[in-house]
Structure 1
Amino acid sequence: MNILEKIAAHKKQEVAISKEEVPVESLELLPHYHRKCLSLRENLQKVQPGIITEFKRRSPSHPEINLTADVEKITAAYEAAGASGISVLTDEEFFGGSLDDLALARETVKLPLLRKDFVVDEYQIIEAKAMGADVILLIAAMLKPSEIRQFSALAKKLGLEVLLEVHNEEELKNNLFDTVDLIGVNNRNLKTFEVDLQFSKDLAEKIPGEYLKVSESGISDTAAIRELQKYGFQGFLIGGNFMKTEDPGKSAAEFIKELI
């Protein structure tokens, strides 16, 4: 069992418990469920260099990125730094995040928020909307095309944007639905953890023009951004590179300033 299969199995158990504790009817009563979502796609198109900063405490490949990180302080600093959007890890078991982090970020910033998690059930999409997300992530490597079609359709119905994460041409070709807004190429192979920006470059010309291109993982310097922009990427998701520093907001500000 690889890490994605392990995460998916745990996530299904987790969602089953959540459904019993907080039914959909309760989620639909929360204020943010009726809030008009902000557009990450529009922000990335109009605000370059299109940096999506990320809040995360740890990951399977890096178990101690920033375990005591303060979500309100860091997301506020990310907004001040000029980020186009913020990704918030909400997986607890493997990334040390929570839905509380998403809710606190929503109360803190006015930027589009991506709920970064492993969606395996429609319930999580309703949950994302209710807790203040604007965008959800769907990972092609752990979902069937029929599930991506189903989940992305529900997201659109709720007013959420959809970031589809792919890692190879097959995942891309099988999931080009009109309910997807952004396509992210993960430069980290989630099965082996190998990181290579060549994954983004190789897939760039194969992504149809109607989808905004996002490069994810392994971006650690501004030279990489400038190189990827030549391939048509307008969004760049950066997490560990900022979070591992003593002051993530300051690191992001310096990084973005160098690109402007």
Structure 2
Amino acid sequence: MPLSRFVKAKEEELTRLRSLKQLPAPYRGKRPGFAEAIRGQMPGAIIAEYKRASPSKGDINLTMSPEEVGSMYARAGASAISVLTEETYFKGDLSYLHIMAKTGLPLLRKDFITHPLQVAMTASTPASAILVIVRLFETDAELNAVLRECQTFGLEPVVEAFDAHDLQRAQSLGARIIQINNRDLATLGIDLNRSYELVTRKQKHETWISASGITTPQAGQKMFEAGFDALLMGTALMASDHPGRMVERFTRNGS
């Protein structure tokens, strides 16, 4: 299952954005600081994700609304919320960002972003941050164009790497928030050693997030001890009977 399938699924969205005479105006409300929220609880920050489905798991939780889950996450002490907006494989929607902004927590738009127009569209929502996956860009010039657009609109790019080459590209372009995805989106396999190996290259000015495959407070604590500032958790939360209580297990170290 090549990574390109996700890019292809976004072609219709990009065609629509290109056809617009004018994009929606940027959101005029407050965007809570994403990195700031992590730093306020690091190490130990939890970015809790609203994730309805995935390519590896199929439908995960289609019954719980973004309002319900967002409220649970806020009460449980999550530092921020990741909101999947990709429609084809994850059954997400851009409108969920507007709904979950009511929590007051910083929001990360998690999607397959490849073009500055998608960044500009994100800027019309209350999102504080946007996921930028290094491997989706053939050239550093294309990647840098998206990062510059994030800066233009005051969105914090969370730059995701899968390996040392991705990480080198991210750091060379000045990424300040780096996410290591333990799931390879090409194979859907998970390897936590990916995080352990790459975090040794962390620089002092960077905020680091480990994502995917962390299912117990003990595993999470090991990531924090290795040098990560935050964990991003999706499936483990949404597949549980009560996503909020699951977050509490991590924010309280299982107590």
Say yes or no: does 1:141 pair with 2:140: no
TM-score, normalisation: structure 1: 0.92
Distance 1:152 1:35 in 2: 22
- Structure 1 letter corresponding to 2:5: K
Q: CA RMSD in A?
A: 1.6
Shift of 1:259: 5.3
Name which of 242, 252, 258 aligns with 2:253.
Answer: 258
The answer to whether 1:130 aligns with 2:124 is yes
Aligned equivalent of 1:111: 105
Q: Residues 46 and 250 of structure 2 are in contact (CA less than 8 Å); yes or no, is this contact kept in structure 1? A: no
> Which SS does the other structure have where 1:199 is aligned?
helix
CA distance in 1, matches of 2:174, 2:87: 28
Amino acid paired to 1:57: R
Once the two structures are superposed, residues 143-187 of structure 1 have per-residue CA deviations (whole angstroms, 9 ceiling, x without a partner) of 132222111111012111110000100111122255522100000
Question: What is residue 238 of structure 2 aligned with on the other side?
Answer: 243
Question: Do the aligned residues in 1 keep the contact of 2:220 with 2:250 (CA within 8 Å)?
Answer: no
Question: Aligned partners of 1:38, 1:181: CA distance in 2, in Å?
Answer: 17
Secondary structure in 1 matching 2:220: helix
Query: For each residue in 1:53-72, what CA deviation from the matched residue of structure 2 results, as whole angstroms up to 9, or x when unmatched?
Result: 00010000011110222001
User: Helix, strand or coil for the counterpart of 1:205?
Assistant: helix
Whole-Å separation in 1 of the counterparts to 2:226 and 2:127:
29
> What's the TM-score, normalizing by structure 2?
0.93
- Does residue 52 of structure 2 align to residue 66 of structure 1? no
What's the counterpart of residue 217 of structure 1? 212
Listed as ranges, the matches of 1:178-193 within 5 Å are 180-193=175-188
Change over 3 Å in CA distance of 1:175–1:66 after alignment to 2: same
Contact 2:113 2:119 in 1 (8 A): yes
Q: Flag as ranges the 4+ runs of structure 1 deviating above 6 A.
A: none
Asked whether the equivalents of residues 172 and 207 of structure 1 are also in contact (C-alpha less than 8 Å), the reply is no
Q: Is the 8 A contact 2:161 2:170 kept in 1?
A: no
- 1:36–1:159: 8 Å Cα contact kept in structure 2? no
Tell me what 1:7 maps to.
6
Instruction: Say if 1:153 and 1:179, in contact at 8 Å, map to a contact too.
Output: no
- The 1:178–1:41 alpha-carbon spacing in structure 2 relative to 1, beyond 3 Å, is farther
Amino acid across the alignment from 1:181: R
Matched AA of 1:38 = P
**Which structure 1 residue ranges, 5 or more long, are not aligned?**
none
**1:175 counterpart SS class:** helix
Q: State the percentage of identical aligned residues.
A: 30
Indicate how the Cα distance of structure 1 residues 127 and 177 shifts in structure 2: closer, same or farther if over 3 A, else same. Answer: farther
1:142-181 → structure 2 map (5 Å cutoff): 142-144=136-138, 145-177=140-172, 180-181=175-176
Greater shift in the superposed pair: 244-253 or 184-193: 244-253
Taking the aligned partners of 1:66 and 1:10, their CA distance within structure 2 comes to: 21
